Structure 1
Amino acid sequence: MRLIPALAIAGAVVALPLIWIGSAYFFAPPDPDGAGKPLFSNAPAGSAVDSAARIEIEILRQQMEDLQKRLGTVEDDLTRLQNMPRDPTDFGNQGSDEPLERLGDNQILDSYAQTVLIAGRRKINEGLSVSRPSFLIEMFGLPREQLSDDCESMTNPKLKEMLITGDVGPIRVSMLRPAVASMTRVFEKVKAVDVDLYNRISTAGALCVRRIRGSQSSVSAHAFGLAVDLNIDGHLDTLGDGKTQLGLTILSDFFQEEGWFWGAAFSREDSMHFEVAKETIEKWRSAGEI
């Protein structure tokens, strides 16, 4: 029971001004005329000490009345809380294993979609390198013979054999098998640490066999099933503005730990973009995973 300690504390707060007034009454020095009257007596006018004391007393009395009112409010609130139902089934249809319904705005939860500047973005992928198109082509070959700016089917048999489609926690993707396994581990960690963020993760796509937009020859990491675009609550990032959603900055730590390169470091910032780093692909090749 927390009610009794709370009331005791509130009562002590109210009693402090009374104790002060009482001590001032009993231990006050006599007036200058030697009549032995305490400060609270009707001392003759002109006593500066008495005037100052009365002002303080009135202030303390007012404070005491305010505290008494607050104590009454505290008592009412504590009584109401004490009498609330303890059976989880009393909260509507929600069982004991279900979280209570969120009441009102939660500024912490709502901040995940907030747009923020990316601090030191060119240095955020320390120890990881972007997978250049030339490296990917040398490793896998072209994902299809002819590439355009549109997403088309993959025709490279080696890549198609490794391509799978599945759920990786909050989203569903088509990517190379080791990339799907890696992303699954990422989201398992996110869910364990921050389930609220996990539940708000959306995707703008993963596999897309095409050129890098604006290029006539360079092939995108998306074309190899090695990249994914993520966002919070389905709100797409503005390309190249140096800003991103706060939730993505949190996600980037988990992806970098797993060996993914964050596109926020591109010369033209693309903070929705996460792709498997060159070092990770080389590790997968050495382990025989690709």
Structure 2
Amino acid sequence: MKPVHFVVTAIALLVLPLLGYGVWTALSQRQQVAGGSAVDSQARIEIENLNQQILGLQEQLVALSNQIDSLGIDQAALPEDVPSSAENPAADTQSAIPRDGENRIAGDYATVVLIANRRNVNKGQTVGSSAFLEGFLGRPRKVLTDDCEGMDNPKLQAMLVVDTVGPVKVQMLRPAVESLTRVFEKVRAVDQDLYDRINTSGSLCVRRIRGTTDLTSTHSFGLAIDLNIDGHLDGFADGRTQLGLTILADFFHEEGWVWGAGFSREDSMHFEVSRATLEAWRAAGKI
């Protein structure tokens, strides 16, 4: 077997235990939370850390192959044995993961990571377009600009509330506030450390979508909120997010919200009520 091929096989063998362990962790550490399930925060962080290790191994493979090609090394002279330090990384990984007691991974919530399979994070949920929202609820303001302004639609104004919801203060429509309250209650029940570090970058903001002439932002309807960890704003459209937001996304998805990480222009701080949830609220007379 050529050494380069051997390296490919060896790294694949290293990756498989990490993948297997990640799946085992996700399945074994799910918890039932106040009427619904959500992935345990520690399990999610472990999985994300494993994903980063896998990406690192793949990058090392590419770099090694490029070095061999560029240096013209005689492949027949390369060693045939895998270095002993890489024989069983899965065992070291498992021994390093905390199992109980103090939450030793609480400091990782603000860590920025790649968003895995981001175009499928909202599977089963549909975004309410600007046209749908205006037809469903009415236009929140007659004239829109790029600046945040107030509503002048009396029907929507009557449903608008300002309240402290969990760790943040919001200005949103009443059923959205009630839904957000349920999300944060579940987060606190599962992970008080994460709950304490949730911050907001804003909720109601009546304006047009940036870069358009007259499309209404979801924030204009009081149906969206931007969140972050520890007050650190997440980078826009870079395909990355904070680990804590990946955990929160599970709770929001379960409640019928859409995560902005799945948008064409990734916006992972953004969470908004889905179209199906709005229609359910209308059927229940809530909106």
Give the TM-score band, short-chain normalised.
Answer: 0.5 to 0.7
Q: Deviations over 1:216-236 (max 9, x none)?
A: 111100000000000000000
Structure 2: gaps of 5 or more residues:
1-101
- Residue in structure 2 matching 1:273, options 261, 270, 273: 270
State whether structure 2 residue 285 is matched by structure 1 residue 288. yes
State whether structure 2 residue 258 is matched by structure 1 residue 261. yes
- Residue in structure 1 matching 2:134, options 94, 117, 137: 137
Percent of pairs identical after alignment?
Answer: 64
- Residue in structure 2 matching 1:163, options 160, 165, 169: 160
Amino acid in structure 2 at the alignment position of 1:145: K
How many matched pairs? 186
State whether structure 2 residue 207 is matched by structure 1 residue 204. no
State whether structure 2 residue 179 is matched by structure 1 residue 182. yes
Correspondence 1:181-260 to 2 at 5 A: 181-260=178-257
Q: Which residue of 2 aligns with 1:41?
A: none
State whether structure 2 residue 138 is matched by structure 1 residue 151. no
The DSSP-based 3-state class of the residue aligned with 1:175 is strand
Relative CO higher for 1 or 2, CA cutoff 8 Å, sep ≥ 6? 2
Distance in 2, Cα, partners of 1:198 & 1:216: 38
Amino acid in structure 2 at the alignment position of 1:261: V
Give the greater-gyration-radius structure (CA). 1
Q: Deviations over 1:181-217 (max 9, x none)?
A: 0000000000000000000000000000001111111
Q: Which residue of 2 aligns with 1:46?
A: none
The DSSP-based 3-state class of the residue aligned with 2:194 is helix
Amino acid in structure 1 at the alignment position of 2:111: Q
Q: Deviations over 1:154-190 (max 9, x none)?
A: 0001100000010110001000000000000000000
How much does 1:107 deviate? 5.1
RMSD: 1.0
Structure 1: gaps of 5 or more residues:
1-101
Q: When the two structures are superposed, what TM-score results if normalisation uses the length of structure 2?
A: 0.64
Distance in 1, Cα, partners of 2:271 & 2:126: 12
How much does 1:284 deviate? 0.3
The DSSP-based 3-state class of the residue aligned with 2:105 is helix
Distance in 1, Cα, partners of 2:147 & 2:126: 26
The DSSP-based 3-state class of the residue aligned with 2:109 is helix
Query: Aligned in 2, Cα 1:213/1:107: closer, same or farther, shift over 3 Å?
Result: farther
How much does 1:109 deviate? 1.0
